[in-house]
Amino acid sequence: MEAENKSEVMPMPRIGDKAPAFSAVTTQGDIHFPDQYAGSWVILFSHPADFTPVCTSEFMTFATLEEKFAEANCKLVGLSVDGLYSHIAWLRTIKEKIEYRGMKNVEVKFPLIEDITMEVAKKYGMIQPGESSTKAVRAVFVIDPKGIIRTIIYYPLSLGRNFDELYRVLVALQTADEFSVATPADWQPGDDVIVPTAGSCGVAKERMDGNEEMTCYDWFFCTKKIDKETILKSVLKK
C-alpha cells in the first residue's frame, strides 16, 4: 500500500517545464499532447464538472472567443474528469438550450478531454485536495509553440475566469518574445513596454544621460513605445 501511494505522487508542473505529454480521447477525436500542437500556442484549461453553471458560462465565453485566440496562433483544449458521453451531452445542451449574456446557439468546437481516470489532471496538478479530491480546479496553462509551459493560473471552483486577462497574457507573452521586452502592470497592447535592465555601468550612464528611444525613470527602470499596430501585426501574423 505504501508503494502504491508513492506511485500516485506527481510533481507539480512549473513555468519553464516541458508540458507533460499525454494521449487522450476528446470530443474532437484522439489527441497527442503537446506534440500535435507544435508550432502553436495552446491554452490547456480544466473545469470541475459538466452541467454546472460556472463552467457553462466559461465554455460559452471561450467558444465565442475561439476565433480571436486562433488569430493569435493559439489553440484551446479543455479538460474535466467527466466521461466523453457526458461531455457530448453537455455541449449539445449548451448549443441547443443555453442563452447567456447575448450568447446563444454556441457550438464548442475545440476538444474537451475525457479524463475519468484523472491521469491528465494529476499530471498537471489540477486536483487540489483542499478544494476537491474528485474534481479538477479551474487551472490554466499557457504553453508556447515549443511545448514549454509559460504561464500557470489556478482558480477555485467558485470563481469564473477572466477571459480578457487570458488573452492579455497570451499577447503579452508573444510581445515579450518578439521584442525582447517585459510588460508592466496592467499592460495592454499600445502601452509602453519595459526595456531590459542595464547590464553594465556604461549602459546605465548612457541611459540616464538621455536616450531618445526610451524614457528612463532611473537607471534600472526604462520604458519605450511600441505602438499597438506593430504589436498586433506581430501577434496576429499567420
Assess whether 55 carries a catalytic annotation.
Answer: yes
**Which amino acid appears at position 121 of this protein?**
A
Out of 55, 74, 216, 222, the active site residue is 55
| 102 pLDDT above the threshold of 60 | yes
Per domain, the residue ranges of the chain are 2-161, 180-235
Which residue, 233, 213, 224, 110, is CA-closest to 171? Answer: 233
Digit-coded pLDDT (tens) for 42-86: 999 999 899 999 999 999 999 999 999 999 999 999 998 899 999
As assigned by CATH, the class of the 2-161 domain is alpha beta
User: CATH classification of 180-235 is 3.30.1020.10, yes or no?
Assistant: yes
Digit-coded pLDDT (tens) for 115-174: 999 899 889 988 776 655 556 678 999 999 999 999 999 998 889 999 999 999 999 999
101 is in an annotated binding site: no
Hey, which bits of the chain come out as E strands? Answer: 22-26, 29-33, 41-46, 74-80, 112-114, 138-143, 149-155, 193-195, 215-218, 221-224
